Amino acid sequence: MLKAEDYRVDLKEIDGLKVNITSYRIGSTYYCHIDNVDPGAVIARSEGESHEEVIQATMARAMERLKPKVR
């Protein structure tokens, strides 16, 4: 049966905003999602073939999403 392996949650900051970076592997696929800590909604996610690849891809998406809004 499948299971999540290498599960970890790291608290980091992107442009001064706290985010949780959650990563794990299921089978041969690596997953990562980033949430905004409070309230914890996922703002970016990726899957890929290596840990580094999914972290980088998810970070890039999160940074785009967290850009200051122009009104």
Burial class (CB in 10 A: 0-12, 13-18, 19+), 56: middle
Query: Residue from 45, 53, 56, 57 that binds another protein (CB under 8 A)?
Result: 45
Number of residues that bind another protein (CB under 8 A): 26
**Measured from the CB atom, is 21 or 33 closer to another protein?**
33
Q: Measure the CA–CA gap between 58 and 51, rounded to whole angstroms.
A: 11
The residue among 52, 49, 55, 71 whose CA lies nearest residue 21 is 55
Query: Residue from 17, 49, 50, 60 that binds another protein (CB under 8 A)?
Result: 17
Please report whether residue 26 would count as binding another protein according to CB under 8 A: yes
Q: Measure the CA–CA gap between 50 and 54, rounded to whole angstroms.
A: 6
Contact set with another protein (CB under 8 A): 1-5, 7, 17, 24, 26, 31, 33, 35-36, 38-45, 47, 62, 65-66, 69
